[in-house]
Amino acid sequence: GAVVSQHPSWVICKSGTSVKIECRSLDFQATTMFWYRQFPKQSLMLMATSNEGSKATYEQGVEKDKFLINHASLTLSTLTVTSAHPEDSSFYICSARDLSGYSYEQYFGPGTRLTVT
């Protein structure tokens, strides 16, 4: 089946630094990917839609200048958390859909756990 990978799987950084998270579709092309955030003991919340070759669209309340999204190729989207603070500590999950089929299944990455100290 289709596979979506994320790198790194976990990262610890100091407050004020920036962290980049990669989301890759390994065996299919994805013009659109999605980024979700999950705080401890909470549900997943959609942050933004990443569009290949164009600007990302952000959900209400998500700071676009803080969460930079780049979708430079059909298989890679990156999320950069700029000037990270402890409140940005969360589990970040990306997802993508294989355009070659008509399935509405969503392939999720394994997630990246970010801890900001």
Partner 1 sequence: AQKVTQAQTEISVVEKEDVTLDCVYETRDTTYYLFWYKQPPSGELVFLIRRNSFDEQNEISGRYSWNFQKSTSSFNFTITASQVVDSAVYFCAPISRDSWGKFQFGAGTQVVVTP
Which residues form the interface with partner 1 (CB under 8 A)?
A: 32, 34, 36, 42-46, 49, 91, 93, 95, 97, 104-106, 108, 110-111, 113
Q: CB of residue 113 vs partner 1: minimum separation in angstroms?
A: 7
Q: 52 CB contacts (<8 Å, ≥6 apart)?
A: 30, 31, 32, 71, 72, 73, 74, 77
Q: CB of residue 53 vs partner 1: minimum separation in angstroms?
A: 17
Taking every pair of C-alpha atoms in the chain, what is the biggest distance, in angstroms?
Answer: 43
Q: CB of residue 5 vs partner 1: minimum separation in angstroms?
A: 11
First to last CA, the chain: 37
Could you tell me if residue 64 is left (phi over 0), alpha (psi between -120 and 50 degrees) or otherwise beta? alpha
C-beta of 1 vs 86, nearer to partner 1: 1
Structure tokens at 65: 């200048």
C-beta of 15 vs 106, nearer to partner 1: 106
C-beta of 52 vs 82, nearer to partner 1: 52
